Amino acid sequence: MIVQFSSALLISDLHLTPSMPLTAQRFFDFCEKEGPGVEAVFILGDLFEYWIGDDAALDSPFQQEVKRAIANLSTKTKTFYMHGNRDFLIGADYLKKTGMTLLPDPSKIVIAGNEYILCHGDSLCTADVGYQIFRNWVRKPWLQKIFLRMPLHWRKSIAKNLRSNSSAQYQSYAGNAPEERARKTNVTLHACAALQRDLSGNKLIHGHTHLPAHHHEQLHEQTWQRWVLSDWDLDHPESSLPKASALRIDASGVHYTDLVKAQ
């Protein structure tokens, strides 16, 4: 059965962490102000900068504040969460405490009478073969069980090394020609087309790439629309303009909402 709602807000890639307090505060405000104004809120992954197990958040004042904000939002509107590439280890315990409902990646939903396919987006970046191999391995349940049974300090060390390697890889891409860099870090038409054929859809929404835009695309005889969600960052004005937005869908259509200006 496809989930149906009359209105919704969709967000992703907040990368919440104590070192980004302005971004976190905007999320807290979102949970109080914008979120309750629709029938459903969809968080399409990478809510956190990283997640090494539900138990790691127990003694963190920051994580407790995030948990309270989401739990409060969940009492006012239906709140869905989809795993991202940085927080795919969020488990049943955290979902229960926050009141969020886990949404499989990908999923098809109906909002205001129209069908949309939702996914985080990393699975669509098929030009990066090395990442897809890595993604396939870390999503294996038996490997996740082994990792979550490790001592917490081991998990923190592994997560730190993975983030360092990810940053190094991004820097290596930055040294490539712009076209090659874009190809490696963006979704591919073939992957988007295949996903929508599999789920019989022509409207796709995802995050991950940090390239918010509305696209009209075509591959052979297949056509579709694709909306990319924004990442959030209000803490690094020296490197980029403050950014935070949501995609609102209701009877009037699909619209980007600038949450920076809405403060």
Phi, psi of 205 (to 5 degrees): -130, 130
pLDDT digit string, tens, across residues 27-40: 999 999 999 999 99
Residues 6+ apart with CB under 8 A from 147: 52, 53, 89, 155, 158
Of residues 114, 123, 97, the one with CA closest to residue 44: 123
Of residues 246, 223, 201, 231, the one with CA closest to residue 108: 201
β-partners of residue 218 are 223
Residues 6+ apart with CB under 8 A from 21: 235
Per-domain residue ranges of the chain: 3-258
Question: Which residues does the chain have with pLDDT short of 70?
Answer: 1, 166-183, 238-239, 263
Residues 6+ apart with CB under 8 A from 239: none
Instruction: Indicate the burial class of 213 (C-beta count within 10 angstroms; 0-12, 13-18, 19 or more).
Output: exposed
Asked if residue 62 lies in contact with residue 113, where contact means CB atoms within 8 angstroms, the answer is no
Query: Where is 169: in which H helix or E strand?
Result: helix 152-174
4, 105, 111, 118 from 200: Cα distances, Å: 17, 15, 16, 13
Protein fold of 3-258: Purple Acid Phosphatase; chain A, domain 2 (3.60.21)
Q: What is the DSSP letter of 53?
A: -
Tokens of 60: 């963190």
The answer to whether the Cα torsion of 39, 42, 48, 52 is positive or negative is: positive
Asked if residue 35 lies in contact with residue 246, where contact means CB atoms within 8 angstroms, the answer is no
DSSP-based three-state secondary structure for 122: helix
Q: Which residue has the tokens 């029938």?
A: 39
Asked if residue 51 lies in contact with residue 87, where contact means CB atoms within 8 angstroms, the answer is yes
Residue-level pLDDT at 2: 75
| Exposure of 159 in the CB half-sphere (CA atoms within 13 A) | 22
Q: Residue 108's CB: how many other CB atoms inside 10 A? A: 16
Asked if residue 59 lies in contact with residue 97, where contact means CB atoms within 8 angstroms, the answer is no
Residue-level pLDDT at 184: 73
